[in-house]
Amino acid sequence: MGRAVVACAGADGPAKLVHLTKAVLTEATLACANLREADLTKAKLIDATLTSVNLNRATLTQADLEEATLTNSLLNGAELGGAVLADARGLSKRQIEAAVIDSYTALPPYVTASLPPQAGPGRSDNYG
């Protein structure tokens, strides 16, 4: 199976890839992609490179981002309820505080340790 590579896609305008529910993007390189408001519910982004990706207000509910690289990605208002980010790389406290998480969101230990209980302005526990 080949690897998807998207470099600076959609950088000049709104994202066109809106519905990627259950997409399998394992090992994909989506550097600089504009996935603002994209629906990535239950997407498989295992070991994907999401460096400098705009994921503002994207839905990543129950997405699998194991070992994904999220350095400098924008997560303002992104819904991460139940998402698996436990081994994600390049994820910061600031990124998580800007996102919507719940008690089912699996965060890396280095991020969890830096967050106070009930962290994140958009925190929600309604994703059960």
pLDDT in tens, 25-70: 999 998 899 999 999 999 999 999 999 999 999 999 999 999 999 9
Buried b (16+ CB within 10 A) or exposed e, 35-65: bbbbbbbbbbbbbbbbbbbbbbbbbbbbbbb
- Which distant-in-sequence residues (6+ apart) come within 8 Å of 74 by Cβ? 53, 54, 55, 56, 95, 98
Contact 96, 76 (CB under 8 A): no
pLDDT bracket for residue 20 (50, 70, 90): confident
Q: What is the mean pLDDT of residues 4-20?
A: 56
CA-to-CA distance for 15 and 96, rounded, in angstroms?
Answer: 22
Q: What is the mean pLDDT of residues 91-120?
A: 88
Q: Which two tokens stand for residue 42?
A: 């239950």
Q: Is the pTM of this model over 0.75?
A: yes
Contact 101, 82 (CB under 8 A): no
- Provide the pLDDT for residue 127: 43
pLDDT bracket for residue 126 (50, 70, 90): very low
- Provide the pLDDT for residue 2: 44
Q: Which two tokens stand for residue 97?
A: 């505080």
